[in-house]
Structure formats: structure tokens, C-alpha cells
Amino acid sequence: MADYDAIVVGAGLAGSTAAYCMAKEGLSVLILERGDTAGSKNVTGGRLYGHSLEKVIPGFAKEAPIERTVTREVISMLTADSCFNIDFHSTKFAGSPSSESYTVLRAEFDAWLTGKAEEAGCDVVCPARVDSLLKENGKVVGVVAGDDELTADVVILADGVNSLLAQKEGLKKELSPHQVAVGAKQIIELPENVINDRFCLNKGEGVARLLAGKPTNGMVGGGFIYTNKESLCVGLVVTVADIMKSPQRLPDMLEAFTQHPSIKPLLEGGKLAEYSAHLVPEGGLAMLPTLVADNLLVTGDAAGLCINLGFTVRGMDFAIASGEMAARTVIEAKARNDFSAAGLAGYRKRLDESFVMKDLQTHKNAPDFIEHTTRVYNEYPALVERIFLDMFRVNGTPSVRMLKKVFPHLRQVGFLNLMKDGIKGMGAI
């Protein structure tokens, strides 16, 4: 008899959600997390779209350690000296739990979610590094963690984007530099009232700001700023392919970003509380591994379930949804006592019928557009800078109509390029 019905590798959002749902239904479940605590090794910009978890734990935001409800969206284009913002602030973002999004600190939030799984009856061991899958006659029967061999009817891999276990099992190819990005993030502490004043927020409101252009010096990627109660998450994400070719180190780029004339005043007087870096899946639908095998499921970042549309980045809601669907599948498999690939096939079916795969399919061309439309990261920020300098500069020279101000700048980039990028972008995003 197996030690557990299910062993979950990784105490991130996917793993803890899966464990919570299974334990709640009476299954014996074990989470093994290689970090010192749940969430201690998890890095993200810090935004959670709440709809997935709301389905699993209705009203979770009333007890979970969320930081702020996002009511303001800002998209920025930066050159060395200028910043152009699209700034949208609406209280209509708040008020409906199924459509609200929140800023979170993963170390706190993941610990809370793993705690919910423990309350439901799940065992949690941290730190515990899983070295390999345990097999008998070629069949997965558990995991090997240090000197311990632990058995289970099914193993759920939720061990992050570079899941070595999935790679060893042949479910996932080695990561391509074009499919992943490296993110570096600072957490900068500031008083709540200072954050509210600097970002024009009411109490409890938050900002999600994404930036392109100068933050990455023309490389594929961008910057982000998220407001927490008493801190800011400030960081950069750049594809590994570009970092490999760059003479600049990512930490140096992040430092330069924080010194930009439009960013520095927002951080003034803040205390650096944390610095972290992590790989981020960027390949979309093209990087999905095999998700189901005998006695084995792959979830969350390990499954490459992430989407970057430039104006929004999603991964946490995908992870939670995939964890819940994996759990439902295992519960059904236990009732039939069939943990074969055929018996677990409902997981992929659930994913295919959900927003997760439908959104990835809808935006399957987004990764290619974002990676290869390099004008977004250099020429377009410079174009916007030139246009708006001409619009707002008053120096005593005779004025001309707007068309004459704008036309030369558009021609410099090229009307054909503008048209091609616009058509490609509309088709991808």
C-alpha cells in the first residue's frame, strides 16, 4: 500500500491548490517543498487575478494576505530622458470578487495557501528536495527525496519552470533561451501614506505598471512596478536569449532602471528589503510539455502555463486553475482506482475546455510577436518621445498643424513597418 494517495512536488500556487482540493476530499496528500518555507523561493512581479482561487476558496481575499486591490493600470514607454504613460484608473476594477486582481507578496501568500492545505489535512515537509521519481518496473510509484523513498498512487509536478523531474521523465524538453526570461526584482519599503500620495491612490487601492523601452535597452522584455501596502515591487524581465548576448548584467540594468528620472522620485527614501531573481516561462502554447503520463501530472509553471501580452502578464491564475483541475482528476482516478495515463486523461480535457488553454490558443502568436517586433523596445518609445516633444514644446517658433508635426516622425520609422506591426500585433494580442 502506498504511503500517500498523492505527492505534490512544490508548494507554489499550483501545488498548494492541488493539495488543498485533494485533502479537502479526504485524500492523503504530501507536499514536498525545497525552500525553507512555502513561498520562500517563489518570485513574481506580484499580481494575482483572483477568479481562479475565488472558485476554489470563495471569499479568499477576506482572509488571505493580499496587499492591495488593483484599480489603476499604467502602460509606459521609456527613453533615456522621457516617459509616456497610458494611465487608466477605475473603481470598477473593484467590487466583484470574480474579476478583482490583487498585489501579493508570494512569500506570505504562498505560506497562507499551503497553510490552508495543511488545515484540510495535507502533510507538508520543508525543506525537502526531490531528486528523482521512484519507479518499479518502469512505473512511477513515488519520489526519492534525499535518503527517503516515499510512495504514492500519483505524483503531481509543480516544481517550477525548469522542472528537472519532468525533463528526466521525458515529458519536457530542455528549456530554450527564447522560451524563458529571467526576472530580477527589488522589494522597496515605503510608508503606506507615501505610496498612496505618490501613486494617487486611496487606501487599499493598488497600481500595476508595465514599462517598455529603456528599462531593457531595446532587448525583449520590460519593467514592472506593483504597489503593496507598505512596499513596492520593482523589477525587470528579459529573455534569456537576449541576456546571453548582452554586455550588460541584469542587476546593472535594474539599478539603471531605478535611477530613471521618471522612476527615481517614486522610490526616494525607500529601503531595499529584498532582492530576488527567477526564470519565467515566455513561450506560451509552443512550450507546453506532455502534461499527463502514468501516475504523473504536470501543473503550473512546470507546464509552461503563462502568457505575456505586453499589457498584462498572467501565470498565477493559470497555475491555480491547473492545480484545481489536476486535483479533480486525481479524485476521480482514485474513485476508479485507475492512475494510468488514460485514467488521468481528464486533466488535459479539463484544461482544454477551460480558459487556460483557450487563452493560450487565442494568443498563441503573442510570444513570436513580442520577441521579434523589436521596434516596440527601441524605435517606438523614441517615436513617441519625438512626437510629444513637438506637440508640447513652445519656444517662439511658428506653429504648424498637428499632421505636419507627426508625419515626419512616422515616416522615419516607416509607414510599412507601422502597418505590418499593427496588423501582426492585432492578430497576436
Tens of pLDDT, residue by residue, the chain (429 residues) = 889 999 999 999 999 999 999 999 999 999 999 988 887 777 777 899 999 999 999 999 999 999 999 999 999 999 999 999 999 999 888 877 878 999 999 999 999 999 999 999 999 999 999 999 999 998 999 999 988 999 999 999 999 998 999 999 999 988 888 888 999 999 999 999 999 999 999 999 999 999 999 888 888 899 999 999 999 999 999 999 999 988 889 999 999 999 999 999 999 999 999 998 888 888 888 889 999 999 999 999 999 999 988 888 899 999 999 999 999 999 999 999 999 999 999 999 999 999 999 999 999 988 888 877 888 888 999 999 999 999 999 999 898 998 888 999 999 999 898 888 888 888 888
3-state secondary structure of 399: coil
Indicate the residue type of 229: K
Residue 218, pLDDT score: 82
**Quick one: residue 194, left, alpha or beta (phi over 0 = left, psi -120 to 50 = alpha)?**
alpha
The confidence score (pLDDT) of residue 421 equals: 84
In the prediction, which pLDDT does 422 show? 86
Q: Considering only CA atoms, give the Rg of the chain.
A: 23
Is the peptide bond prior to 398 cis by the omega test (within 30 degrees of 0)? no
β partners of residue 83:
78
> CA separation (Å) from 335 to 89, 139, 292, 410?
48, 20, 18, 64
Q: Give the pLDDT confidence score for residue 36 in this predicted structure.
A: 85
Q: How many whole angstroms separate alpha carbon 90 and alpha carbon 101?
A: 13
Q: Is 376 exposed, middle or buried (0-12, 13-18, 19+ CB in 10 A)?
A: buried
| pLDDT value for 372 | 77
Cell of 109: 501568500
CB atoms within 10 A of CB 93: 19
pLDDT given at position 415: 87
